[in-house]
């Protein structure tokens, strides 16, 4: 019996103590310098988990917005935007902004929606205001968003602008960085991470062709090749190609120049299919993060959040039941012998 109890407890502890190993690999840049500080590119999803957005919105009656918290309303506007219901999202955010003019997420979401609607001046104003309210948001990367808005204005005035300029204009990061100058390398890698993070956020909203997105991804590739990873630079150029199918930015030339370097240094190529999956694939959001509004939803959320604890007590109850039956039957057998 003791062995059974110990085994069950061990299973319970094992349920909660899973471990994930971390692998660290070196990457090589076009100068043949190897680095372990660069962590690689993420997955750039082209689609949202729209079913999650629908589930979220089904939990609220937005016609009764006065009875809903501003946090839930702000998130509802995000999900309306992902579903392409821009007019409803804009109306909701404008109403929220009048009541809560200094709430960062409301201000930032309003700026994003104005950009989607093509109202670039308003978008710039609200993204800039959002930065003033919370400079550390999005890991301090919102300077990229402002630069893209400036580039869109320039592109509207002259469509050829994007062919002869870099959207982010990171020329100060194009200088050769000494292999042992960790401070300068950290600055370059941080800026690259900012750019990559912003593109993660932007790509699900972006349809091809989009030469602005292509321009930014080309610059990501240029900086990765110079400072961190020619393999990931190749991947960035491939993603840029998708948004520049006419090759206005001469991405084929950049890819061709990388080929001999990839061969020379034996640099592995990240999978385009894994890092830039089609629209059928998306990051599936955890349904447990859906807000609990009704009593039943709250009860269900408590049960889901504590499933491990409930399972543990069920196991204990089962063990106690087996233990009880064992001793009852043993005592019964003793009585019968008497």
pLDDT at 15 over 90: no
**Quick check: is 81 in a domain?**
yes
Query: Can you tell me the distance from the alpha carbon of 152 to that of 97, in angstroms, rounded to the nearest whole number?
Result: 25
* Tokens at 121, concatenated: 């001046």
pLDDT at 154 over 60: yes
pLDDT digit string, tens, across residues 247-303: 999 999 999 999 999 999 999 999 999 999 999 999 999 988 888 665 444 445 455
pLDDT digit string, tens, across residues 38-75: 889 999 999 999 999 999 999 999 999 999 999 999 99
The mean pLDDT of 13-37, rounded to a whole number, is 66
- pLDDT of amino acid 21: 44
**Quick check: is 93 in a domain?**
yes
Q: Which residues form the domain of 322?
A: 1-14+293-338
Would you place residue 33 in the very low, low, confident or very high pLDDT band (cuts 50, 70, 90)? confident
Domain count, the chain: 2
Residue 63 belongs to domain with CATH number: 1.25.40.10
pLDDT at 29 over 50: yes
Least confident residue range of 75-84, 122-131, 168-177, 230-239: 168-177
pLDDT at 329 over 90: no
**Quick check: is 185 in a domain?**
no
pLDDT at 305 over 70: no
| Domain limit, last residue, from 135, 169, 195 | 135
Percent of the chain at pLDDT above 70? 80
pTM equals 0.80
| Domain limit, last residue, from 106, 135, 164 | 135
Would you place residue 104 in the very low, low, confident or very high pLDDT band (cuts 50, 70, 90)? very high
Q: Which of 130, 135, 139 is nearest to 105 (CA)?
A: 130
- pLDDT of amino acid 306: 61
């Amino acid at each position: 019996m003791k062995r059974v109890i110990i085994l069950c407890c061990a299973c319970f502890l094992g349920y909660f103590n899973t471990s994930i190993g971390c692998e660290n690999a070196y990457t090589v840049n076009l100068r043949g310098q190897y680095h372990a500080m660069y962590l690689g590119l993420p997955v750039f999803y082209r689609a949202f988990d729209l079913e999650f957005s629908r589930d979220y919105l089904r939990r609220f009656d937005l016609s009764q917005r006065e009875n809903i918290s501003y946090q839930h309303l702000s998130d509802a506007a995000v999900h309306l935007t992902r579903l392409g219901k821009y007019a409803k999202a804009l109306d909701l955010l404008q109403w929220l902004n009048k009541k809560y003019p200094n709430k960062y997420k409301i201000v930032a979401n309003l700026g994003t929606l104005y950009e989607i609607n093509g109202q670039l001046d308003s978008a710039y104003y609200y993204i800039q205001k959002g930065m003033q309210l919370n400079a550390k948001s999005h890991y301090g990367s919102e300077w990229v968003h402002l630069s893209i808005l400036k580039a869109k204005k320039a592109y509207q005035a002259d469509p050829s602008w994007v062919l002869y300029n870099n959207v982010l204009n990171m020329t100060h990061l194009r200088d050769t960085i000494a292999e042992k100058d960790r401070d300068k390398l950290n600055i370059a890698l941080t800026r690259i991470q900012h750019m990559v993070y912003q593109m993660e956020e932007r790509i699900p909203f972006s349809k091809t062709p989009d030469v602005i997105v292509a321009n930014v991804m080309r610059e990501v590739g240029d900086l990765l090749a110079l400072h961190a990873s020619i393999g990931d630079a190749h991947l960035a150029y491939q993603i840029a190609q998708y948004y520049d199918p006419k090759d206005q930015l001469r991405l084929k030339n950049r890819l061709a120049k990388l080929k001999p370097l990839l061969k020379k240094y034996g640099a592995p190529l990240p999978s385009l299919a894994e890092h830039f999956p089609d629209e059928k694939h998306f990051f599936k959001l955890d349904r447990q993060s859906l807000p609990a509004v009704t009593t039943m939803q709250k009860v269900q959320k408590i049960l889901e959040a504590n499933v491990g604890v409930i399972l543990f007590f069920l196991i204990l109850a089962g063990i106690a039941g087996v233990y009880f039956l064992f001793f009852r039957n043993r005592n019964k057998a003793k009585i019968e012998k008497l």
